[in-house]
Chains A and B, each alone.
Chain A
Amino acid sequence: MSDVTRATAAELGRMIGAGEVSAEEVTRAHLDRIAAVDGQVHAFLHVDAEGAIAAARAVDSARARGEKLGPLAGVPIAIKDVIATKGVPTTCASKILEGWRPPYDATIMERINAAGMVMLGKTNMDEFAMGSSTEYSAYGPTRNPWDLGRIPGGSGGGSAAAVAAYEAPLAIGTDTGGSIRQPGAVTGTVGSKPTYGGTSRYGLVAFSSSLDTPGPVTRTVLDAALLHEVIGGHDPRDSTSIPAPLPAIVEAARLGATGDLSGVRIGLVREFAGEGAEPGVAAAVREAIEALVKLGAEVVEVSCPHFEYALPAYYLIAPSEASSNLARFDAVRYGLRVGDDGQHSLEEVMSLTREAGFGPEVKRRIMLGTYALSSGYYEAYYGQAQKVRTLITNDFKAAFEQVDVLVSPTTPFVAFPFGSRTSDPYQMYLADLYTIPTNLYGGPAISVPAGLSEGLPVGLQIMAPTMADDRMYRVAAALETVIPPLTPPALSGSNS
């Protein structure tokens, strides 16, 4: 049998459904791969081997009973540690939640379980999804399978690295300012951020409620669409969930795979052109766009004059919401408790716990947000940022009157070496320069491999109007016919 860890999720689902391989064999192969390489990659914070094998066996029994299986039944998946998983540790890569086992499953976990998918474990991330490198994980960084001296992106570096290193064919990420797409770009994987409200946030530990969006991390566009279809759709437990059916995304991915983009209008954002993408990144993206043109797409330049204010607006809105969302970690009900020795007051216990339990980037954002929401500053900061958000949304709407999708580099630079951007938060924030506008607007966007620059992956970002996720899948799948999935160099200790 060929190495099942190299197969796509779509292939694995088909093979398991046809009885060519058992779900348990597939799961064991991935657990073996994790055991072999995760010591170097550190994509996982927790591996639930027992639970995974039990889930795989349940699928095999169901098949043996003649039950009809879904397209991803028995396919393993890694889950970002910000998603609540019943009975399985969920830490958000923070000391403050060390050892917390949620008594409930996130909606998307319920759907993943109902689809017969097999959770392998929980993946590493920047603490509370704040960061672009996983260097802010309280449990040590994840390493990029393309170069173990470099970052895998963030915040969802663990999910992206797990998929890139063949530890899992699929993973779940969450995208608040680029946390699915930027790791996808720098690890050579596909990272899809659905329309805000198109995937449920119930059970996603909130960073910034108006921006957080769970979505797929995969090696192929079709796999992303298949996973998106499993987790997507209205959830009555999330008030911001859109009460409408998902667009036909799997169909769109299959249509794109025919390699025909005739009639598709692609927009290039003029205001992004001058902004600092590395030359190698810019070149790879240019080539990818030329490839799209060869497939029949028409390219148009559009203007989005307010995009330049996206980064500052984001760094007011997201920290403001975070400062409130993270208040609940107060040592009273769960998680870490420091100073409960009869010598300290309740207030002191809360302070000591938060002091010890939160890392530097989380504290920085809580302070930023607390300031931005405080009386007398609210209008100047949070209020103003909301106005910018409206202007950016209007820019998108105007652009989508002219074009079907917008494209750009996913991130301005390839995977950078550890420690090179932690001393200057702004340099780190720049990693999300191209991804943040979409979050402020709420539309879908996907990052797909667009080749290499100096031997490291580059991502092309494709943005679409809200609830037109199908468009980005079509264009992404078409590009895949020209630029096939990338394979990282072999990791030591493994035969690949």
Chain B
Amino acid sequence: MIPSWPTSAGALACSVIGAAHRRQGKPCQDTCLGQELRSPRGEPVALLLVADGHGGQRYWLSEVGSRLACEQAAAAVAAALAEHELNQQERWRQLLASELPETIQARWLAAIERDWRRRTDAANQPFSPLTYGSTLGLVLLSPCWWGYTGLGDWDLVRLEGASGAELVSEEADQEGGGEATASLCLSKAGRRWSERSQLVSLAPAAPPFTLLLSTDGVRKSCATDVDFLSLCGHLRALKDPAELEEGLAQITAAGSGDDVSVAMAHWTPDGPPAPPARSQHPRQRSTAKLLVLAGVGMGLALGVAASVARFRSQLAPSQQPAPAHHNQPGPTQPSVHGPTGGIAPARSADGRSGTRPPRGPDREQLPASSRPIAAER
């Protein structure tokens, strides 16, 4: 049953290559996604994803690993959404704690192995998931509940009112110390997912709030957690994806130097989500009750066309999305690269794309009911 009370949820996501990675000529190993999905009953669900490739020498394809993690997670969520009604909260709690993680991990492992077999630079080397190691944080925001799952050193903050900010989920110290984190490439990762899973019911009269999911580069750029929570408050106020991109570039340059990603969704009880205004410039879509759902770096139409053409030219034929879908996202036909959303390409501090060209998922992996309405520059 569709809730009798209306809701709106919005999402914005952006990844920016770390200042240190840029200086060292390394690719951005972060990927993020902000996407609005629809249940079969038409209920809006915001999906937020961030993934952070490990980056060390032994994880030399982790930027691919993080991209595939977001793609496979989006596909797994869309499939679950098609199968399970949103009002089955206990069922979704189970899904977030165990079934979705198992599905995502299995899909990710299959996807990275496919990628490995296509590589000419992998000839005669044994396949190892370690090569693609990545974290993954996943948040779902529905009309009647919100929840999260994932593994690794991502952070989730809930912001409410003018100054309320709460660190909802963080990774506990990992064995191994230093920058050690849980990873999709760990063979026995099941327990780690469940440690980071939660589902929270929402009352119809719940006050508006924002969920902000970030990779560790953001928090590490702040002197203290108090500063981090304050920063989240400032990021929440950014309605323009270009501003978010500029802000993230500023954060990595003044802070950790690490890649930085943020995906956030706003929940308000006072109006149904507006349909995506695909023909409208993203900067013009910032009215208070408007659902803003954006992938990375929304931007200029000309830039979009050029970047899409460039990205497509870099794809292997099997990786290219169907032409019919490309740049034509609709309510039920997502586009990964299109001007209105999808997996976010990394941006350098000066707005250039990172060295990793974003690539789309295989067609069969595309969420059937997603409605991305973000744009990329």
The yes or no verdict on A and B being binding partners is no
Chain B residues within 8 Å of A, Cβ to Cβ: none
